[in-house]
Structure 1
């Protein structure tokens, strides 16, 4: 089965839909410049469907421990997804004892990590100098790059995925997990229930049709 993460959820009805669709991870963005930003207070009021298998991933950009601590005081998180240095990610992993995924932007095969002391990787296209965010910019890389990669840890394919291209992305990249955000939005930062459903259906059909 291809695992699914839907990132940038802010509305309770969308959160409930992910649980109903048996999605694997919901991503909560704790980065104020993002149009998908959710405050710790807002996140604390979202339902918790961990018993149904829906895990929470908290996304942070160059965080210090106080920032993460503030969120964890209000919100239970299963995974921390970090845009930061490897050294800082390792420190945060040890400090909070929560699984950490490191986000990594790549352009070529040589950019892919050959070792990883953390729990997972999120692989996407790198941000450009004009981007205001390190990820979530709807950018793609050549998915064929990862096909022969011997990943040191489980990894998630992100960046520019939607219901029109996710089957091709899975086939070309060899990924076992996908991460969607803008691809299920009808406007910047606003998720669409039908697009979420279409995306999940497309991935599940890809499982049935053996896209890999």
Structure 2
């Protein structure tokens, strides 16, 4: 897989799935969190993931989901990985990985260098850690277009596979890669025309910018 790998998250329409495939992104993300404008029902997700099957990696995003929610959704959607965006502990991550048999990505909210210390707690249980921007109290846990200070990663040695999320867009992703050397970049709101509605041209521009970085 090329480095940096590219994940386009929060897809809600067949057209967006097609755009991600045409742009040759590596992963497509599908959100299961009712407060989000990108939330999908199980039936919606199943239709979209069938469209993506064999053409782009399929990642389901969950926020503090129950075992039953994870079981029903993963059975219907056929994910290759699960992204946990909530307050899941290392023990919960290990439990989900064992019960689903799927690779698990854990998002860690970053606002200071001290937040990076939390990554080590998940290094032995998560298949990947996503460094994302810390959102305001009471706000959604991601997808708000917020970024953190990428220079916090200067000199940081990752204890496991990792990726960069939060506030990325076609105009700044090359700089983000130059500063952080991220092996994977994850975008959602940065390639949208409005919340939950992806923009074809921005998806293409983002993927091109990553490959040119």
Shared fold, TM over 0.5 = yes
Unaligned residue ranges in structure 2 (runs of 5+): none
Aligned mates of 2:195, 2:12 — CA distance in 1: 13
1:160/1:180 contact within 8 Å kept: yes
Give the TM-score normalised by structure 2.
0.91
Partner residue of 1:123?
Answer: 131
Give how far 1:204 is off: 1.2
Q: Partners in 2 of 1:98 and 1:205 — Cα distance?
A: 32
Partner of 1:210: none
Give the paired residue count.
204
**Which runs of structure 2 are paired with 1:65-104 in the superposition (5 Å)?**
65-82=67-84, 83=86, 84-104=88-108
2:149 maps to 142
1:122 alignment partner, SS class: strand
Of 35, 49, 54, the residue aligned with 1:51 is 54
CA distance in 1, matches of 2:144, 2:90: 22
Q: Can you give the 5+ residue segments of structure 1 that lack an aligned partner in the other structure?
A: 207-212
Aligned to 2:178: 171
- Range 145-154 or range 185-194, more displaced: 145-154
Cα shift at 1:49: 3.8
In the alignment, the residues of structure 2 paired with residue 20 and residue 174 of structure 1 have an alpha-carbon distance, to the nearest angstrom, of 25
Aligned-pair RMSD on alpha carbons?
A: 1.3
Report if aligned partners of 2:145, 2:166 keep a CA contact under 8 Å in 1: yes
CA contact (8 A) 2:24 2:207 kept: no
Q: Within 2, Cα distance between the matches of 1:125 and 1:165? A: 15
Question: In the alignment, is the contact (CA less than 8 A) between 1:40 and 1:74 conserved in 2?
Answer: yes
TM-score by length of 1: 0.92
1:157 and 2:153 aligned:
no
